[in-house]
């Protein structure tokens, strides 16, 4: 079976959560007799590039408006690659993808991984809504990454007869194993006990509320990641008089593995539905770390079960966030139980092999085997 994935960004230009999901599916499904190609956009396009064991083609991006890439050449590239594909696997949201779907007039079985609602671009969403629903009505199956998101998304509820649930998964074997020397170097730099956040510093991550929560505690917090709010957050930490916040900027996968192994607990204060799942939260669970997240009706609360794998708090509620941090910092027995439960939940629900097998089963069902 041959599968064509279509998404606006991919390796090596971008390394976000959706890209990681596509990569895991492409590599994992190979063991089930499935060959994969990925079509994406790039400012520096390459006709064919081998990523892992699968081929990637990038079309020239000619325009980007409101985080939506457009390409004059993508329709022809899509049509060419789709001829040989048994299944087209779309990754939503990306309005230009919907346009290509209809303009190419390709009639193949199709799956949409519905990664997130469109949250921020309210005006553009009104213009896009008719095309969006036409596109979602035309595909064979829509996959949500958690039952929480499927229940809370108005868009998915409208297409509920087509929705399946397949949680994201991670392949633990692809993560780095740090040396003892590297671990000790980071222990010396950060101290023996710290809270950790990993992710892009974007508007929906809620880090301003996390900094507010540390007032009066000033416990060690490590922020690993860069983004448009970096300078603003550093200024906020200074203004609040926080002396124990370490802004590391972007870190390598190797150093991220070290930080996840060493941290005391993982704090993920995303407060808007733009955070549809939380791959970083899932990585922390893989390392057996207690979790703190906000209840926003998305996959974050599917990963982190309140009182079991950690604590969930209302969004934008710094006092509740402070209480959760204090509980995991000072209650050793609760901390131990949550860490163990997070690891057990990862093993039972979120392994990459389980995600891949579920998608392969779905592919076979919509192609008749």
pLDDT tens digit string along 9-26? 999 988 788 998 999 999
**How confident is the model over 127-148, as a mean pLDDT?**
96
Do residues 138 and 201 both lie within one domain? no
Task: Please tell me what DSSP assigns to residue 13.
Answer: T
What confidence category does residue 66 fall into, taking pLDDT thresholds of 50, 70 and 90?
A: confident
Query: What pLDDT score was predicted for residue 176?
Result: 85
- CA torsion angle for 322, 274, 137, 96 (degrees, to 10)? -170
Please check whether residue 129 is in contact with residue 74, taking contact to mean a CB–CB distance below 8 angstroms: no
Do residues 146 and 43 both lie within one domain? yes
- Distance of alpha carbon 269 from alpha carbon 207, whole angstroms: 6
Kindly tell me if the per-residue pLDDT of 187 is higher than 80: yes
Query: What pLDDT score was predicted for residue 108?
Result: 95
Helix (H, G, I), strand (E, B) or coil at 248: strand
Query: What pLDDT score was predicted for residue 23?
Result: 95
Total number of domains in the chain: 2
Non-local (6+) Cβ contacts of 312 within 8 A are: 292, 293, 294, 295, 300, 301, 304, 306
For the chain, where are the alpha helices, taking DSSP H only?
A: 17-29, 74-83, 95-104, 122-138, 147-152, 154-158, 180-190, 207-213, 230-239, 253-262, 279-286, 300-303, 318-330, 332-349, 352-367
Please check whether residue 56 is in contact with residue 49, taking contact to mean a CB–CB distance below 8 angstroms: yes
Q: What is the mean pLDDT of the chain?
A: 95
Kindly tell me if the per-residue pLDDT of 204 is higher than 70: yes
Tell me the per-residue pLDDT of 256-301, one tens digit each, with 9 for 90 and over: 999 999 999 999 999 999 899 999 999 999 999 999 999 999 999 9
Do residues 191 and 102 both lie within one domain? no
Do residues 199 and 325 both lie within one domain? yes
Do residues 35 and 70 both lie within one domain? yes
**How confident is the model over 322-341, as a mean pLDDT?**
98
Do residues 255 and 156 both lie within one domain? no
Please check whether residue 135 is in contact with residue 98, taking contact to mean a CB–CB distance below 8 angstroms: yes
Do residues 156 and 270 both lie within one domain? no
Greater pLDDT, 65 or 332:
332
Helix (H, G, I), strand (E, B) or coil at 128: helix
Kindly tell me if the per-residue pLDDT of 208 is higher than 70: yes
Non-local (6+) Cβ contacts of 185 within 8 A are: none
CATH of the domain at 223: 3.40.50.2000
Do residues 162 and 23 both lie within one domain? yes
Query: What pLDDT score was predicted for residue 119?
Result: 81
> How many Cα neighbours within 13 Å face the side chain of 110?
20
Kindly tell me if the per-residue pLDDT of 122 is higher than 80: no
Query: What pLDDT score was predicted for residue 14?
Result: 85
Q: Give percent of the chain with pLDDT exceeding 70.
A: 100
Query: What pLDDT score was predicted for residue 283?
Result: 95
The pTM assigned to this predicted structure is: 0.90
Do residues 189 and 96 both lie within one domain? no
Do residues 6 and 116 both lie within one domain? yes
Do residues 355 and 339 both lie within one domain? no
Do residues 215 and 150 both lie within one domain? no
Q: Give percent of the chain with pLDDT exceeding 90.
A: 90
Please check whether residue 33 is in contact with residue 14, taking contact to mean a CB–CB distance below 8 angstroms: no
Domain of 316 in residue numbering reads as: 175-349
Query: What pLDDT score was predicted for residue 120?
Result: 77
Greater pLDDT, 204 or 125:
204
Query: What pLDDT score was predicted for residue 369?
Result: 66
């Amino acid at each position: 079976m041959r599968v064509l994935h279509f998404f606006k960004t991919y390796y090596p230009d971008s390394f976000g959560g959706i890209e990681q999901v596509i990569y895991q599916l492409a590599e994992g499904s190979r063991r089930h007799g499935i060959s994969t190609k990925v079509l994406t956009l790039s400012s520096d396009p390459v006709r064919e590039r081998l990523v892992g064991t699968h081929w990637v083609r990038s079309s020239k991006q000619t325009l980007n408006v409101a985080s939506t890439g457009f390409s004059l050449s993508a329709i022809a590239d899509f049509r060419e690659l789709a001829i040989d594909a048994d299944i087209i696997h779309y990754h939503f949201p990306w309005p230009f993808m919907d346009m290509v779907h209809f303009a190419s007039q390709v009639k193949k079985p199709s799956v949409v991984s519905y990664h997130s609602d469109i949250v921020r671009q309210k005006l553009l969403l009104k213009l896009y809504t008719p095309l969006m629903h036409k596109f979602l009505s035309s595909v064979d199956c829509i996959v949500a990454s958690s039952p929480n998101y499927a229940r809370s998304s108005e868009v998915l509820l409208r297409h509920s007869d087509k929705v399946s649930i397949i949680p994201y998964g991670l392949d633990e074997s692809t993560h780095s194993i740090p040396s003892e020397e590297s671990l000790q170097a980071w222990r010396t730099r950060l101290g023996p006990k710290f809270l950790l956040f990993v992710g892009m510093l974007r508007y929906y991550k809620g880090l301003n509320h996390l900094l507010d929560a540390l007032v009066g505690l000033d416990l060690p917090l490590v922020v690993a990641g860069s983004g448009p709010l970096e300078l603003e957050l550093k200024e906020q930490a200074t203004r609040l008089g926080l002396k124990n916040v370490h802004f590391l900027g972007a870190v390598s996968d190797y150093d991220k593995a070290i930080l996840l192994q060493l941290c005391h607990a993982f704090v993920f204060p995303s407060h808007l539905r733009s955070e549809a799942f939380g791959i970083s939260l899932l990585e922390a669970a893989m390392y057996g770390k207690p979790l703190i997240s906000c209840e926003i009706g998305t996959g974050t609360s599917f990963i982190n079960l309140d009182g079991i794998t950690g604590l969930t708090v209302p969004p934008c509620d710094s006092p509740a966030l402070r209480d959760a941090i204090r509980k995991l910092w000072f209650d050793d027995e609760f901390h131990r139980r949550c860490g163990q439960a997070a690891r057990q939940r990862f093993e039972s629900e979120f392994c990459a092999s389980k995600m891949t097998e579920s998608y392969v089963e779905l592919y076979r069902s919509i192609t008749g085997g």
